[in-house]
């Protein structure tokens, strides 16, 4: 047989082998899913999903060191209105306390409440009017087990103390802090609310006598219950602030006569958010009349046409995939659930962007939840959540954009290959799934070995180890399991081969 005939036969054999394989869309799943082994045929199975919307009861709490939202989103046709009111304490770090002074009586010039700004969700060009109040009730600090409050604390604003309007781009502007006519400090990224002079004087003139507010923490709390920062309900953005650190607190500006220099000194002191300070966020959602409120009932067999996912205090999608029970034992190369944004998020609401990360977990046998076995971090053992951060490059869930029907849409892909393999091979029980955009996960009967978090908490983090989904930061409308467009419809796609 000559070389030409051998080449022709080789090409025919290759063509026959390729024809026997199911075609793989490399743009969707990647060519790396096809096993590089001779004489193995791969097949594709697409399973229908029954997905429905749910507004669960929320028990989210916020930690002192994380970003705290204040603001409102007054007009969101998909999810309704949102309003976040920030409660916190600013106080001396030690007791008894005395305001630093020179030799003579002190004269108060002004007082400013300062909050350390770190970001915005919503319309960055809209103006948010922040109003500062005394809290009507005492703001308690964290316990050693859990942050004290959920997003529905029994706290309300009390006496009005001042206000300041800000757009997010104004935080970049430099604010000059002067002493008399000289600029001695320049600051940026701060919300600075002038405080009512009568309240400032009450604080400034406190002392450390037996009944004075500066005598002890309990006496300070009895005299100054805490503060509330609330935006007007018409606002269209949430602004985020850090309470810990040196850029949040009450700055007091005052004068005192210095006998040594025989001049009047201009002085400043700051009462900060300390380890003894209480904090809470009252996050109110009103979804009446919104799309999500009208989409809670879907087809009992095919599920909902659209799914609505909102960050905490949020909404979730519940998924059932009964077709998994029909799968025989096989080698699963890839099992991928695809979730696609239903319509482009453009126009007037383009800045109400999707959550940075969506998360999928499974319902356990007693209808509690845990992390998807084997797939969150393939090389870390876990039951409820991984001991190491989630490997998003493997598991998926991070927001990516793709062109679908010529539209730029957020697309999420969840890899549950190992979990599904355990079901078809080891006959582990099929369970239902949940997609959400949590701030953290709270799983029963788990332990995270963290010194900073309660043992049954798992913080959802980005690849850079920052908190993935801040409260209120993100919402998305996904094409559901009953969506008419097959390129958007939620499905579970399986690439497999025979054993």
Q: For 181-230, write each residue's pLDDT tens digit.
A: 777 788 899 999 999 999 999 999 999 999 999 999 999 999 999 999 99
Alpha-carbon distance of 304 to 94, in angstroms, equals 56
Binning pLDDT at 50, 70 and 90, where does residue 14 land? very low
Which pLDDT does position 102 carry in this prediction? 54
pLDDT of residue 367: 67
Q: Is the pLDDT score of 265 beyond 50?
A: yes
Three-state secondary structure readout of the chain:
CCHHHHHHHHHHHHHHHHHCCCCCCCCCCCHHHCCCCCCCCEEEEEEECEEEEECCCCCCECCCCCCEEEEEECCCCCCCEEEEEEEECCECCCCCCCCCCCCCCEEEEEEEEEEEEEEEEECCCCCEEEEEEEECCCCCCCCCCCCCCECCCCCCEEEEEEEEEECHHHHHCCEEEEECCEEEEEECCEEEEECCHHHHHHHHCCCCCCCCCCCCHHHHHHHCCCEEEEECCCCEEEEEEECCCCCCEEEEEEEEEECCCCEEEEEEEEEECCCCCCEEEEEEEECCCCCCCCCCCCECCCECCEEEEECCCCEEEEEECHHHHHCCCCEEEEEEEEEEECCCCCHHHCCCCCCCECEEEEECCCCCEEECCCCCCCCCCCCCCCCCCCCHHHHECECEEEEECCEEEEEEEEECHHHHHHHHHHCCCCCCEEEECCCEEECCCCCCCCCCCCCCEEECECCCCCECCCCCCCEEEEECCCCCCCCCCCEEEEEEECC
Top mean pLDDT of 365-379, 439-453, 463-477 is at 463-477
From the number of C-beta atoms within 10 Å of its C-beta (0-12, 13-18, 19+), residue 410 rates as buried
Tell me the average pLDDT across 390-405. Answer: 93
Q: Could you tell me the pLDDT band of residue 447, with boundaries at 50, 70 and 90?
A: confident
Residue 110 sits at φ, ψ, to 5 deg, of -165, 170
The CA-based dihedral angle spanning residues 169, 170, 173, 179, taken in that order and rounded to the nearest 10 degrees:
-160
Q: What pLDDT sits at residue 334? A: 96
Most confident region among 40-44, 147-151, 312-316 by mean pLDDT? 312-316
Measured between its terminal Cα atoms, the distance across the chain in Å is 36
For the segment 286-306, what is each residue's pLDDT rounded down to a tens digit?
A: 999 999 999 998 888 899 999
Question: How confident is residue 3, by pLDDT bands cut at 50, 70 and 90?
Answer: very low
pLDDT band at 130 (very low <50, low <70, confident <90, very high): very high
The percent of residues above 70 in pLDDT, for the chain, comes to 88
Name the residue with higher pLDDT: 350 or 264: 350
Q: What local confidence, expressed as pLDDT, does residue 23 receive?
A: 35
Span 18-63, pLDDT tens digits: 333 333 333 344 444 555 455 578 899 999 999 999 999 888 888 8
pLDDT of residue 373 exceeding 70, the answer is yes
User: pLDDT tier at 368 (50, 70, 90 boundaries)?
Assistant: confident
Residue 394 has pLDDT above 50, yes or no: yes
CB atoms within 10 A of CB 215: 18
Q: In terms of C-beta distances under 8 Å and separation of at least 24 residues, what long-range contacts does 459-468 make, across chains too?
A: 460/357, 460/359, 460/390, 461/389, 461/390, 462/356, 462/357, 462/398, 463/389, 463/392, 463/393, 463/398, 465/389, 467/66, 467/67, 467/439, 468/355, 468/356, 468/357
Residue 131 to residue 85: CA distance in whole angstroms: 10
Give the pLDDT mean for 8-13: 40
pLDDT at 381: 67
Q: Is the pLDDT of residue 12 over 80?
A: no
Q: What is the mean pLDDT of residues 254-280?
A: 85
pLDDT band at 470 (very low <50, low <70, confident <90, very high): very high
Band (144; pLDDT cuts 50, 70, 90): low
If you average pLDDT over residues 317-332, what whole number do you get? 94
Q: How confident is the model at residue 235 (pLDDT cuts 50, 70, 90)?
A: very high
What are the residues whose beta carbons fall under 8 Å from the beta carbon of 335, sequence distance 6 or more? 415, 416, 417, 419, 420, 421, 492, 493, 494, 495
Task: For residue 115, count CB atoms less than 10 angstroms from its CB and return exposed for 0-12, middle for 13-18, buried for 19 or more.
Answer: buried
pLDDT at 104: 64
Looking at every residue in the chain, the average pLDDT score rounds to 87
Task: Specify the pLDDT at position 249.
Answer: 96
User: In the structure, what pLDDT confidence band is assigned to residue 451 with cuts at 50, 70 and 90?
Assistant: low
Over residues 159-171, mean pLDDT: 96
Q: Exposure of 13 by Cβ count < 10 A (0-12 exposed, 13-18 middle, 19+ buried)? A: exposed
Q: What is the pLDDT of residues 52-104, one digit of tens each?
A: 999 998 888 888 889 999 999 998 999 999 999 999 999 999 999 998 865 56
Cα separations (Å) of 66 from 133, 146, 405, 466?
22, 14, 39, 10
Averaged pLDDT, 249-255: 93
Judged against a pLDDT cut of 50, whether residue 11 lies above it is answered with: no
The candidate with the shortest Cα–Cα distance to 433, out of 40, 11, 54, is 54
pTM: 0.88
Question: Which pLDDT belongs to residue 6?
Answer: 43
């Amino acid at each position: 047989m000559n070389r030409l005939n051998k080449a022709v036969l080789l090409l025919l054999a290759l063509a026959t082998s390729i024809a026997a394989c199911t075609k793989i869309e490399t743009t969707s799943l990647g060519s790396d899913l096809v096993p590089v082994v001779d004489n193995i045929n791969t097949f594709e199975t697409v399973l229908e999903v029954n997905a429905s919307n749910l507004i669960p009861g929320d028990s989210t709490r916020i930690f002192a060191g994380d970003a705290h939202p204040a603001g409102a989103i007054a007009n969101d046709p998909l999810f309704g209105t949102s309003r976040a009111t920030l409660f916190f304490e600013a106080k001396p770090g030690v007791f008894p306390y005395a305001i630093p002074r020179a030799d003579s009586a002190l004269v108060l010039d002004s007082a400013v409440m300062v909050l350390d700004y770190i970001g915005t969700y919503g319309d960055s060009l809209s103006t948010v009017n922040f109003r500062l109040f005394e809290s009507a009730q005492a703001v308690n600090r964290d316990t050693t087990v859990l942050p004290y409050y959920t997003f529905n604390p029994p706290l309300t604003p009390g006496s009005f103390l001042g206000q300041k309007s800000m757009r997010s781009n104004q935080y970049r502007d430099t604010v000059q802090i002067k002493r008399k006519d000289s600029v001695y400090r320049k600051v940026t990224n701060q919300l600075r609310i002038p405080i009512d002079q009568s309240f400032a004087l009450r604080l400034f003139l406190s002392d450390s006598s037996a009944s004075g507010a500066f005598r002890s923490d309990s006496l300070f709390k009895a005299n100054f219950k805490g503060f509330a920062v609330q935006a007007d309900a018409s606002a269209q953005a949430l602004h985020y602030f850090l309470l810990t650190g040196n850029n949040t607190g009450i700055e007091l500006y005052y004068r005192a006569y210095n006998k040594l220099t025989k001049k009047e000194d201009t002085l400043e002191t700051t009462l900060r958010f300390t380890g003894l300070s209480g904090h809470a966020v009252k996050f109110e959602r009103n979804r009446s009349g919104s799309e999500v409120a009208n989409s809670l009932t879907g087809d009992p067999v095919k599920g909902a046409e659209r799914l609505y996912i909102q960050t905490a205090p949020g909404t979730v999608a519940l998924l059932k995939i009964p077709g998994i029970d029909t799968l025989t034992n096989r080698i699963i190369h890839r099992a991928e659930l695809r979730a696609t944004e239903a319509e482009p998020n453009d126009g007037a609401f383009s800045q109400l962007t999707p959550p940075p990360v969506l998360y999928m977990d499974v319902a356990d046998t007693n209808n509690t939840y845990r992390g998807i076995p084997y797939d969150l971090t393939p090389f870390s053992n876990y039951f409820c959540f991984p001991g190491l951060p989630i490997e998003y490059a493997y598991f998926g869930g991070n927001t990516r954009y793709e062109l679908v029907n010529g539209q730029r849409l957020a697309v999420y892909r969840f890899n549950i290959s190992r979990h599904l393999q355990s079901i078809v091979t080891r006959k582990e029980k099929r369970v239902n799934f949940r997609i959400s955009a949590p701030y953290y996960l709270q799983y029963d009967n788990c332990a995270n070995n963290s010194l900073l978090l309660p043992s049954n908490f798992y913080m959802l983090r980005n690849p850079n180890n920052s908190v993935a989904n801040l409260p209120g930061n993100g919402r998305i409308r996904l094409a559901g399991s009953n969506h008419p467009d097959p390129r958007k419809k939620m499905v579970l796609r399986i690439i497999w081969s025979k054993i």
